[in-house]
Amino acid sequence: MSIFEKLESEVRSYSRGWPVVFDRAVGSRLYAEDGTPYLDFFAGAGALNYGHNNPVLKQALLDYIARDGVTHALDMFTVAKRDLLETFQQNILQPRELDYKLIFPGPGGANAVEAALKLARKVTGKESVINFTNAFHGMTLGALSVTGNSMKRSGAGIPLVHATPMPYDHYFDGAYPDFLYFERLLDDSGSGLNEPAAVIVETVQGEGGINAASLEWLRGLSDLCQRHNILLIVDDVQMGCGRTGPFFSFEDAGIKPDMVCLSKSIGGYGLPMALTLIKPELDVWEPGEHNGTFRGISPAFVTAAEALRTYWADDELEKSTRAKGERIGAALQGIVEAYPEANLTAKGRGLARGLEFENGETAGKVCAAAFERGLLMETSGPDGEVAKMLPPLTLTDAEVGEGLEIIDASVKAVLGK
């Protein structure tokens, strides 16, 4: 029995599907300790939009560490934070005419969500929150209470209350008007729905199965929130930082959420970092009312600022992501059409793509076949029925092609033909 199996809790998961020991990584590739390369279509579950150990960010990081830049700084003022704030304002907020203040809520996406929910409740004086079917927002109690997956919810050990799930876009395959149920409950003072402080939503549900809400649906949700005086929180932890093309995944819909949660790729290099963006009028915190040890990880600030400078000074990455995304989408559609009897569905937007199989067993076999062929790809969806593709945004066209070939071969290996 390896030291991993002996000492690490049974809760570990990814190592079960990919039972090798990884050592190095560059760009779109991870290398096992024996040197075997793996093309990474998972990218740290969206935490590595700029690839593994991106050389530009790496140099900035090495320089900062070498010169003894402060590493851990709580929420003190630092040169590294100032650079990040200025770059974020200049390259992200100003060009998009967005007016947000930044909370450094702690190191991970769940912290960004917890801070948003706490503040929404504090601002409105209401406890209840609306989430959506198949949402994923994190594993701490507040974030877990707005997450859909029943296995993960049962891990809480206490009843998760204070949230009511509403149907996400296309939950009924488009057969019924959007927000029919939600708005009827809000309008009816006898509905029994506790008046919500906020709605929390992902524009594309990654863990939920690469469900991409339409832009109309997102606009409709934003309108509904404004009509009913409900705060709109977009959890852009996985879909932000360019995953769907634009920096914020909600830009195409033309909406301006009240709060935005960022994490995963915001740090650029895979180091823990998170942000909660809030409209300035919502900034009613007392000093220290929300705090934490890891809110000033300067190395992550350094790589974050460098990533914003390198990739978000113009729209090249955005365009490339859209183009590559469409290429993958078309290829997946081709697979769908090649196996008409298999009832496949191609899903997603930008470089968040999925191929839905009839059940989790088949999707799992396809991912296993891909792993054998040197491609890292995971399943998602309530029953793991979707093969999920989240490659680094910086992958090359050749790598797109390579990945698609493996996917093709893996599907064929599993579905026959």
Site for a second copy in 136-155 (CB under 8 A): 138-143, 145-155
* Residue placing its CB nearer to a second copy in the complex, 221 or 415: 221
Residues 336, 346: Cα–Cα separation, whole Å: 7
* Residue placing its CB nearer to a second copy in the complex, 381 or 403: 381
> Which of 183, 252, 383, 408 touches a second copy (CB under 8 A)?
383
User: What residues between 6 and 25 interact with a second copy by CB under 8 A?
Assistant: 7-16, 18-25
By the 8 A CB rule, do 396 and 406 touch? Answer: no
* Residue placing its CB nearer to a second copy in the complex, 52 or 322: 52
User: In sequence order, which residues have a C-beta less than 8 Å from that of residue 98 and are 6 or more positions away?
Assistant: 92, 248, 256, 277
Q: Nearest approach, Cβ of 344 to a second copy (angstroms)?
A: 19
Q: Nearest approach, Cβ of 386 to a second copy (angstroms)?
A: 11
1 binds a second copy (CB under 8 A): no
Q: Nearest approach, Cβ of 17 to a second copy (angstroms)?
A: 9
User: What residues between 278 and 337 interact with a second copy by CB under 8 A?
Assistant: 278, 283-294, 297, 299
Q: Look-up: residue for tokens 């200049």?
A: 90
* Residue placing its CB nearer to a second copy in the complex, 78 or 214: 78
C-alpha distances out from residue 94 to 91, 158, 313, Å: 7, 43, 12
Residues 227, 183: Cα–Cα separation, whole Å: 10
Q: Nearest approach, Cβ of 49 to a second copy (angstroms)?
A: 11
- Using CB under 8 A, count the residues that bind a second copy: 150
User: What residues between 360 and 379 interact with a second copy by CB under 8 A?
Assistant: none
* Residue placing its CB nearer to a second copy in the complex, 329 or 357: 357
C-alpha distances out from residue 163 to 62, 187, 393, Å: 44, 18, 34
> Which of 180, 223, 359, 396 touches a second copy (CB under 8 A)?
180
Ramachandran area for residue 107 (φ above 0: left; ψ -120 to 50: alpha; else beta): alpha
Q: Nearest Cα to 230, choosing from 248, 257, 262?
A: 257
Q: Nearest approach, Cβ of 2 to a second copy (angstroms)?
A: 8
* Residue placing its CB nearer to a second copy in the complex, 72 or 319: 72
176 binds a second copy (CB under 8 A): yes
User: What residues between 191 and 230 interact with a second copy by CB under 8 A?
Assistant: 191-195, 197, 208-209
Residues 5, 1: Cα–Cα separation, whole Å: 6
Q: Look-up: residue for tokens 């190095």?
A: 24
* Residue placing its CB nearer to a second copy in the complex, 149 or 345: 149
> Which of 36, 72, 223, 314 touches a second copy (CB under 8 A)?
72
Q: Nearest approach, Cβ of 351 to a second copy (angstroms)?
A: 17
Q: Nearest approach, Cβ of 171 to a second copy (angstroms)?
A: 7
Kind and range of the H or E element at 213? none
C-alpha distances out from residue 3 to 11, 22, 24, 36, 299, Å: 15, 15, 20, 21, 30
292 residue type, one letter: G
Helix (H, G, I), strand (E, B) or coil at 321: helix
> Which of 73, 323, 368, 409 touches a second copy (CB under 8 A)?
73
User: In sequence order, which residues have a C-beta less than 8 Å from that of residue 29 and are 6 or more positions away?
Assistant: 37, 38, 39, 40, 52
Residues 176, 171: Cα–Cα separation, whole Å: 9
* Residue placing its CB nearer to a second copy in the complex, 114 or 318: 114
81 residue type, one letter: K
> Which of 41, 50, 88, 250 touches a second copy (CB under 8 A)?
88
User: What residues between 98 and 127 interact with a second copy by CB under 8 A?
Assistant: 101-104, 106-111, 114, 117-122, 127
Residues 315, 338: Cα–Cα separation, whole Å: 35
Q: Nearest approach, Cβ of 407 to a second copy (angstroms)?
A: 20
Tokens of 235: 């959890």
Piece of the chain touching a second copy by CB under 8 A; list 75-83, 245-253, 324-332, 404-412 = 75-83
